[in-house]
Structure 1
Amino acid sequence: MSTPEPDQGFAEFFRTCLPVLTRTLTALTSDTRAVDDVAQDALVIAASRWHDIRSYDKPEAWVLKVAIRLMRRWQQRVSREAPLDLVDVVEQVHDVEAVHSALRSLSPRHREVVALHHLLGYSVSEIAAVLVVGESTVRTHLTRGRAELRRILGGSS
C-alpha cells in the first residue's frame, strides 16, 4: 500500500487503508467476528491523531499496530465471556418475567439481536439480512447484549 501524501487528507488514507487492515487482521486471526469493527475503530483513532501520524514514514503501520492491539483486547474479552444460553438463564432465574424484563432493559438493537438469535434461533447471517447490517455488527451486538443480560440477571439468580 502506498502512503498518501499529507495533502491527500485522511479520507484518501481511510479509503486505501481500510481494506488492507481488514485483510491483515483476517489473516492474523481465525476469529473474524470483529475484524471490520476493529479496523474501523483503529482508523477512528488515527483520525483523531491524523495531524501527527500523516507525517510518519508509514502511517498505515501505526494504524495496523493499533488495530492489532484492539483485536487482541477484543479476543481477550470474548474468551473471558462464557456463552449465554437463555434456556439455562430462565432455569436459573426461575422467573420468565425477569428474563423478559431484562431483555426489555437492553438497548433496542441489543434486544433485537439477542431475541432474534436466542429466542427465534436466527443465525448471525439471517439477523444481518433482517436488520440490514453487517455480520460483524450483529456479533458485536450479541456480545454486548449478552454481557448486559449477565449483569442484569446476575442479581436475580
Structure 2
Amino acid sequence: MMGVDGSAALTPEPVDSEAVRKAEAARAKAEHDQEFAAFAEGSYHTVERILRATCWDREVVQDALNEAYLHGRVQWLKIRTYTEPIGWVIITARNKIRKELHRRQREAAVAPEDLPPAPHIDIADAWEAQETLRTWLHHLPSRQAEVFQMSREGFSNQEIARFLGLAENSVRSYKQAAKKRLRELAEEAGYRDSDGRRRQGGSRGPQ
C-alpha cells in the first residue's frame, strides 16, 4: 500500500469565494440593519414633532413618517453617508405630507378667529403647554412653524437653512416672527405665568 504524499496532505482545500462573498454581504447587511434601526429609533419622535408643527392630522404625519423610513431603509447605504441623515427624513416625509394633503384637498391651516379660548389654564402645566403650543403653531404660516419647531428640537440656524433650502437670515427672520406671534397668541388667550400673573402686552410669551 502506497503512503500518502506529504505535500498533497498539506495542500489547503480550495476556498469557495462565492460562499465567502455571501457571508460577508450578510454580515454587512446585518450591521447596516442594526445601524438603521438605531437611527430610526433615535430620530422618529423628533421628526414627528417637527412635522406636526405644520400638519394637524396625526394620521397623515405618521403615514408619511412610516413611508419615509421605509424608503430610508432601502436607501440607507447612501443616506448614511450624509452629514445629517435626519434632514433627508424630514424633507422626504414633508413632501409626502404635502402630496397627501393636496390629494385630499385639505387645508392644514386654521383661521385665527377659530382659535379655541383658554383663558384660565396655567402655562406651568407642561403637558397642557405642549398641546397648547402645538395648537398655536397651526395658526402660524407653515414655514414659521416649521423653523420654530426645528429650533426647539435643537437644530442650529445653519442646519435648518441647509435642510429647508433657506438663507440663514431667512431662518432668523422666521424664528423672530414666530416668537412674536406666539407671544401675541399667549396674551390674547390670557395665559398666566407659573406665579399666577397674567401676561401683559410686551411680556415674554412661549419661548
Answer whether TM exceeds 0.5 for this pair.
no
Q: Higher Cα Rg: structure 1 or 2?
A: 2
Q: Greater relative contact order: 1 or 2 (C-alpha under 8 angstroms, separation 6 or more)?
A: 1
Q: TM-score, normalised by structure 1?
A: 0.44
TM-score, structure 2 normalization: 0.34
Higher-helix-fraction structure: 1
